[in-house]
């Protein structure tokens, strides 16, 4: 949806630049979509744009999730969730497939890129962590360019140069991750001095979500693992069912899945808890984007580092393709869901219908079919 809005419709970014920043978001912790909104805001309106871009992207979903949490507190369940997800998921598959189709020619510029894309897909399917795949493909792309240019001046090989540059990109998370480690120590100490199902502490709630936001790589399943370890097992603040309902609330609402934190914060501390949890989980993303954003154009000025970024972009596209395939196997369950996906894809490609309207239509169709 962002690519459609800022590249095709408004032309704020070229497809090349969009892919560069998409690759950069994959190398840092936090929700990629939120970090892309921050990057776009900074590029379009400077540092105030970074703040406003992130806030505008986060707040609508956070408010909706908080309102769901209010209803959940009164009803004890999330009504019509199954029907909404049933209809929305096939449309999401079509939206992402269309975006991959538009970005692929920009990312895969040469036969070497095509080979790297296949390697990335194979590695991800095999189960290698996506961050390692991104790093490895980036280093391979930089090394190949260096070998072709015979770039071994100064006693340093092109592979080592590319690896150092990529390490600096991946290493942007080190300072905040160190702070997250300190937060983890505080959490452990707090748990050790307390009892199971201890009283909710807002400062501890903030530190917990700050830690999660600073180290969260990967999918929503990784988020579930972090939340379960801290809130269910260690502190006993949530039940298993409450945790799963919170994850569902983050998935069925607009905005990043990390707004699950808002739901949990409201359950544990009302509106204040919702605000504390939301700020905690998204604050590291602001820090990472502020640090990494200005570096991306500089990487393009060197042939080696530009090649590394090209490799990361290829791997990012491969990651999108694999995740889309995996989700399609879950979302396309029967003739109706397949039809929804096909119709949505045709409307996107031929008539350029706004994807937001298509997802709303999918939600309504799912509600009618399953409601």
Q: What is the pLDDT of residue 118?
A: 95
- Banded pLDDT at 263 (limits 50, 70, 90): very high
CB 282 within 8 A of CB 288: no
Residue 176 above 50 pLDDT?
no
H helices of 2-110, where? Answer: 2, 15-26, 32-75, 81-107
Residue 185 above 60 pLDDT?
no
Distance CA 172, CA 186 (A): 23
Q: What is the pLDDT of residue 359?
A: 84
pTM above 0.75? no
> How deeply is 296 buried, as exposed, middle or buried, from its count of CB atoms within 10 A (0-12, 13-18, 19+)?
middle
Count CB-CB contacts under 10 A for residue 352.
12
Distance CA 291, CA 286 (A): 9
Q: Could you tell me how far CA 342 lies from the centroid of its own chain?
A: 25
Count CB-CB contacts under 10 A for residue 50.
22
Residue 191 above 70 pLDDT?
no
- Banded pLDDT at 161 (limits 50, 70, 90): very low
Q: Which residue has the higher pLDDT, 285 or 168?
A: 285
Residue 201 above 80 pLDDT?
yes
Handedness of CA 355, 361, 365, 371 (dihedral sign): positive
- Lowest pLDDT segment from 146-160, 211-225, 334-348, 357-371: 146-160
Distance CA 340, CA 139 (A): 40
- Lowest pLDDT segment from 17-26, 223-232, 309-318, 359-368: 223-232
Handedness of CA 5, 6, 7, 10 (dihedral sign): positive
């Amino acid at each position: 949806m962002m690519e459609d809005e800022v590249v095709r419709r408004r032309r704020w970014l070229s497809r090349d630049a969009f892919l560069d920043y998409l690759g950069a978001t994959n190398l840092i912790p936090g929700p990629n979509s939120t970090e892309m909104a921050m990057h776009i805001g900074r590029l379009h309106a400077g540092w105030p744009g970074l703040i406003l871009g992130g806030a505008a992207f986060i707040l609508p979903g956070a408010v909706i999730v908080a309102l769901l949490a209010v209803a959940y507190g009164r009803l004890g369940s999330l009504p019509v969730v199954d029907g909404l997800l049933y209809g929305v998921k096939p449309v999401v598959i079509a939206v992402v497939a269309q975006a991959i189709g538009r970005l692929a020619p920009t990312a895969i510029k040469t036969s070497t890129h095509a080979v790297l894309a296949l390697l990335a897909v194979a590695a991800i399917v095999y189960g290698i962590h996506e961050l390692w795949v991104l790093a490895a493909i980036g280093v391979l792309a930089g090394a190949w360019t260096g070998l072709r240019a015979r770039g071994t001046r100064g006693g340093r090989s092109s592979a080592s140069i590319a690896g150092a540059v990529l390490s600096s990109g991946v290493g942007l998370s080190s300072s905040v991750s160190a702070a997250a480690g300190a937060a983890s120590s505080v959490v452990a100490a707090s748990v050790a001095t307390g009892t199971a199902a201890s009283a909710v502490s807002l400062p501890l709630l903030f530190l917990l979500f700050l830690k999660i936001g600073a180290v969260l790589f990967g999918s929503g399943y990784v988020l579930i693992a972090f939340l379960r370890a801290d809130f269910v097992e260690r502190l006993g603040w949530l039940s298993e069912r409450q945790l799963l309902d919170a994850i569902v609330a983050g998935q069925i609402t607009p905005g990043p899945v990390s707004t699950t934190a808002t739901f949990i914060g409201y359950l544990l501390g009302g509106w204040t808890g919702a605000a504390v949890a939301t700020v905690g989980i998204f604050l590291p993303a602001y820090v990472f984007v502020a640090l990494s954003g200005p570096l991306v154009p500089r990487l393009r000025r060197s042939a080696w580092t530009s090649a590394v970024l090209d490799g990361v972009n290829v791997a990012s596209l491969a990651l999108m393709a694999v995740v889309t395939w995996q989700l399609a196997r879950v979302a396309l369950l029967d003739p109706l869901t397949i039809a929804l996906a096909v119709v949505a894809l045709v409307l996107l490609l031929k008539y350029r219908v706004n994807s937001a309207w298509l997802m709303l239509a999918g939600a309504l169709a799912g509600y009618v079919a399953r409601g």
